[in-house]
Amino acid sequence: MKAILQRVLNAKVAVDGIEASSIQKGVLVFVGISVSDTEDDAEYIARKILNVRLFEDENQKRWAKSTSDLNLEIMCVSQFTLYHKLKGNKPDFHQAMGSKDSKVLYGRLLSILQTNYNPSLIKDGVFGAHMCVMLENDGPVTLEIDSNHKSSTNILPSQVKVE
């Protein structure tokens, strides 16, 4: 699973000219799902979305605070084109998971985020729709997170075992 995180001042998604979703300051996340992705990949990406430090702290120290530290909004947008290969000048998307299965896994990613963060701060586009995505970058700051390059750092609050 791939996630492109962009630090934004605001973002919105429209379908057929009608606004479907919007956020203020936070992170816009484009999510691509490959044919080999599992729920473990969704959990890894969710951890990173919530914990990666993209923001300054109160002393203007860079890269000190995460979206969840600052209680900011998150908007996820499904984007199968993140899994492409070029055949000459034509993109090939055979590495992207099919729509039916990827919709389930994308929904699982959203569910994991909502379980481990304030659900009212998690927004998303319209899965499978042709969307107009508008955003105001902050920085710009853009990171690519790939679950194929997993590290075991960071755990989700729901994974903490209390004894």
pLDDT, block means (10 residues), the chain with 163 residues = 99 98 99 98 98 97 98 98 96 96 98 98 96 98 93 58 48
Is 31 part of a structural domain of the chain? Answer: yes
In this structure, the number of other CB atoms found within 10 A of the CB of residue 98 comes to 10
Is 48 part of a structural domain of the chain? Answer: yes
Please enumerate in sequence order all residues whose Cβ is within 8 A of that of 152, keeping only pairs 6 or more positions apart, or say none.
none
Is 9 part of a structural domain of the chain? Answer: yes
Is 155 part of a structural domain of the chain? Answer: no
pTM of the model: 0.90
Give the angle subtended at the CA of 142 by the CAs of 113 and 138, to the nearest 5°: 95
Is 158 part of a structural domain of the chain? Answer: no
What is the reported pLDDT for 158? 61
Query: What total of structural domains would you count in the chain?
Result: 1
Q: What is the dihedral angle through the alpha carbons of 53, 57, 62, 63, rounded to the nearest 10 degrees? A: -10
Q: Would you name the residues annotated as active-site residues?
A: 81
Is 128 part of a structural domain of the chain? Answer: yes
Q: Is the preceding omega at residue 91 within 30 degrees of 0, hence cis?
A: no
Determine the distance from the C-alpha atom of residue 54 to the mean position of all C-alpha atoms in its chain, rounded to a whole number.
14
Is 156 part of a structural domain of the chain? Answer: no
What is the reported pLDDT for 152? 56
Determine the distance from the C-alpha atom of residue 4 to the mean position of all C-alpha atoms in its chain, rounded to a whole number.
7
Please enumerate in sequence order all residues whose Cβ is within 8 A of that of 76, keeping only pairs 6 or more positions apart, or say none.
29, 31, 49, 106, 109, 110, 113, 122, 123, 124, 125
Domain containing 44 equals: 2-148
Q: CATH number, domain at 35?
A: 3.50.80.10
Closest CA to 48 of 111, 113, 108, 104: 113
What is the reported pLDDT for 61? 97
Distance CA 116, CA 74 (A): 13
What is the reported pLDDT for 162? 46
Is 161 part of a structural domain of the chain? Answer: no
What is the reported pLDDT for 150? 74
Q: Give the dihedral sign, CA 105/106/111/114.
A: positive
